[in-house]
Amino acid sequence: MMSTLAMPLTSVHAFADSFAPHIMTARPPTPADPAHLSELIEHYCSPEWKELLRERNTVLTFRTGEHIFRSGDHADRMFMIARGCVKVTAKLTSDTERIIRLAGDGEVLGHRAIGDEPVYAATATALTATEVNSIPMPLFLNTLKANGAFCYQFLLFFAEDMRRLEQQMRDLSRLDVTGRVARVIKLNMDTFGFDVKQPGKLAFTLSRRDIANAAGTTYESVIRTLAQLHRRRIITLAGKEIHIRNAMALVKLISH
């Protein structure tokens, strides 16, 4: 991790933009339109608290493979990804970890550690060079206490986040290998999006081993399944990269 850099004071909109430069909306987010934390801060915190959050924010940079935080560490900060790709892993057994979440630009990390004894329950690792905004946890908790509308919207945000995780776990338990691999590819697609210069190409493609881990299968099964999806013209393989050719067919593999 590189040294921290205090974020300069800016206007309210520049503050929100610095937290999530690509996802600002003109209207307040709703549960049906899942929000990023920066949007909730922008729309539901008072000007005084937004100013304080700006002053206390620091920017941290991480190289590929570096941990942003580790499971079991004291949760002293909340994080929002400014730019980059991150995987979140949790221990299933003493010697087995599973990817439970992917996170990209604008998304929050560390919020599941909130509690009387804040401890990170998972490990967040940078998949690419990643820049995050960091807010002290005590300040974030005080922001919740002082801004009732923000606290309520954050509760909805948290509940929706947990619902998506539970749905993901249910999908992985009921699907066959092809469906589970398709589910991970769709998660990859939804989280990181597409390359702006090559339509259909994933902006970032998980490694085959990470796909296997997230899908709860073997590396060999992933290689076979990707080859099968390629032959069916649902995806195209180009070296380590994946191009989506038929997103609807991909979704059908998950809905069966």
Per-residue pLDDT of the chain (256 residues; tens, 9 = 90+): 654 444 433 333 334 455 444 333 334 544 444 468 888 999 999 999 999 999 999 999 999 999 999 999 999 999 999 999 999 999 988 788 999 999 999 999 999 999 888 899 999 999 999 999 999 999 999 999 999 999 999 999 889 988 988 988 888 889 999 999 999 999 999 999 999 999 999 999 999 999 999 999 999 999 999 999 999 999 999 999 999 999 999 999 998 6
Q: How far apart are CA 156 and CA 14, in angstroms?
A: 25
Q: Domain 5-161: give its CATH code.
A: 2.60.120.10
List alpha helices for the chain, DSSP H: 12-19, 37-44, 47-56, 137-146, 148-174, 177-192, 208-215, 219-231, 247-255
Long-range contacts of residues 90-93, Cβ cutoff 8 Å, at least 24 apart: 90/121, 90/122, 90/123
Domains 5-161 and 175-255 share a fold: no
Q: Domain 175-255: give its CATH code.
A: 1.10.10.10
pLDDT at 22: 38
The residue ranges of every structural domain in the chain are: 5-161, 175-255
